[in-house]
Structure 1
């Protein structure tokens, strides 16, 4: 280990290098010079959108060894220009939380335990129930013979974590199915 010299004090380095305000490399310690960003070791970076609200702030997702190591604001995003709110800044915890559910869970009526379902079975169950509720509560005409062509057995309550495109597609799907009770949590 080399002996420390007073000539290496930041104030002397400032004067020697002409960095009188102390805003350049003259005031960096050897420890600071050796530091590197936690994202510098990432295998790759993917651009994404924050999942928390419909604003659509851009994110940079850094991955190392097929695991998300950091999520930061994307400076190339015209919406957020590299900034994230506290929720967006903590979204790395969504993917790395050990309590995160990664399977479809189902609890049958009157059952006391949850069971895992494969995705295709769950999708089929949802589709069957959707179509049955639509069929059972379909209203073709009112009491005066005026056309209604709607169902009162299906409703949609969207969330603010969906982006505009997802909400647009949900609105189109439910309208095409004849549902008229379509709302979004952001308006309530």
Structure 2
């Protein structure tokens, strides 16, 4: 390769001598980057979603090909995030496609040292039994003066900010119906 040919590949030279004096287009492109195409180009469809990590509610576009998530990007139509995502939101594709993701119900018995896999029905039954037992043990029907309380001090709820308004509304209704007083959400703290 001659000196002139080598200098011609140099981006600054292309910027100064070519049609891209600001270096924002072809002058800044390498041969490799000129041949790249977006990961979203081959997607079958785009699904609108919301980032699951915090209470901000940044909108996302989820690109799907063959029923598999291929890319997640910010939605520029969102008045909240205007197409931008924080580092956690940008990495949310790993939440659904990561190899490290646990896809089974894991349980470790009290004082146990090993985790074991449970089927979903068994796990749900265990949770229901424990909630009802804690509700029963902490139930207060009336105070010392006979005033009705109808509450339990045995259970509480601390919700996460990844839940939407409808989910938080239903959780509040559930725990209120159970008689719990301590119903809080991490987004409000």
TM-score by length of 2: 0.80
Q: Give the number of equivalent residue pairs.
A: 180
5+ residue gaps, structure 2? 6-12
Larger mean CA deviation between 55-64 and 160-169 belongs to 160-169
Counterpart in the other structure of 1:67: 68
CA contact (8 A) 1:134 1:153 kept: yes
RMSD: 2.8
Give the superposition deviation at 1:74.
Answer: 0.9
Counterpart in the other structure of 1:186: 187
TM-superposition CA deviations, 1:43-73 (whole Å, max 9, x none): 3322111000112111111223443221100
Alpha carbons of structure 1 residues 176 and 20: separation in structure 2 relative to 1, 3 Å? same
CA contact (8 A) 1:171 1:182 kept: yes
Counterpart in the other structure of 2:163: 162
Alpha carbons of structure 1 residues 113 and 29: separation in structure 2 relative to 1, 3 Å? closer
CA contact (8 A) 2:55 2:187 kept: no
Q: Which has the higher relative contact order, 1 or 2, with Cα contacts under 8 A spaced 6 or more apart?
A: 1
Alpha carbons of structure 1 residues 171 and 25: separation in structure 2 relative to 1, 3 Å? same
Counterpart in the other structure of 2:9: none
Distance (Å, rounded) in 2 between the aligned partners of 1:137 and 1:70 = 47
User: Is residue 137 of structure 2 the alignment partner of residue 131 of structure 1?
Assistant: no
Counterpart in the other structure of 1:105: 106
TM-superposition CA deviations, 1:127-162 (whole Å, max 9, x none): 121112112221111010111110011111122222
Distance (Å, rounded) in 2 between the aligned partners of 1:164 and 1:176 = 18
